[in-house]
Structure 1
Amino acid sequence: MKGPQKHSLTLRGHRTSVTLEPEFWDAFRQMAAARDVALNELAASIDAERGEVNLASAIRVHVLRWLRSAQTAEERHMFQEEERKGRE
C-alpha cells in the first residue's frame, strides 16, 4: 500500500492541492468518469457543499457514499434478478 499522494486541482479558477491515498484518487477519477464530468468540476461541486470540513475529507466521504450507493444498487439488481427467476 502506497502512502498519500498530493495532486493539484483547480476550483473555480483557483489552484489548490489535495492529498489522498492512491485508492481514493482512483475511485474519485472513476466517480467523475461515471458522472461524465471533469475531476476539477466534481471537486468544485464537493468544495461548494463541504462547509467547514477539510476538502480531502469531503472528497473521501463523497467517494465512500458513491461506492456504497453503487454497491447497494448492484445488490438491489441481484435481488430483483433472483426474485424474477423465482417467479418463473
Structure 2
Amino acid sequence: MTSGRPVKRSLTLRGHRTSVSLEDAFWIAFREIAAEKGMAINALAAEIDAGRDMETGLASAIRVYVLRHYRG
C-alpha cells in the first residue's frame, strides 16, 4: 500500500542536487513514465524543470506532467 503523504527524494538536475516531495503514487507513476520513454528519472525531471513556469514549483510541475500523461 502506498502512502498518501509526500515523500522527499533527491534528484540531480543539470549537475545540481535538489529534493522534491511527492506522494508515493506520483513517484511510482513518474518512474513508469521515465521508463516508458527510455529516460533516466533525472533526465525527465530536468526536461520538466526546463519547461515549467518559474512561479510553479517542481513538485507541482511533475504532478501536472504525470496527470497530463495519463489523461492524454
Q: TM-score, normalised by structure 2?
A: 0.92
Larger gyration radius, structure 1 or structure 2:
1
Partner letter of residue 40 of structure 1?
N
Matches within 5 A, 1:27-66: 27-52=29-54, 53-66=56-69
4+ runs deviating over 4 angstroms? none
Choose between structure 1 and 2: higher strand proportion.
2
- Displacement of 1:42 after TM fit? 0.1
- Displacement of 1:67 after TM fit? 0.7
Q: Residue by residue, what CA displacement relative to the aligned partner does 1:18-39 show, whole Å, maximum 9, x if unpaired?
A: 0000000000000000100000
- Displacement of 1:61 after TM fit? 0.2
**Structure 1, unaligned runs of 5 or more:** 70-88
By relative contact order (CA 8 Å, sep 6+), the higher-ranking structure is 2
Q: TM-score, normalised by structure 1?
A: 0.76
**Structure 2, unaligned runs of 5 or more:** none
Q: Matches of 1:20 and 1:5 in 2, distance apart?
A: 5
Q: How many residues end up aligned between the 2 structures?
A: 69
RMSD: 0.8
Matches within 5 A, 1:2-81: 2=3, 3-52=5-54, 53-69=56-72
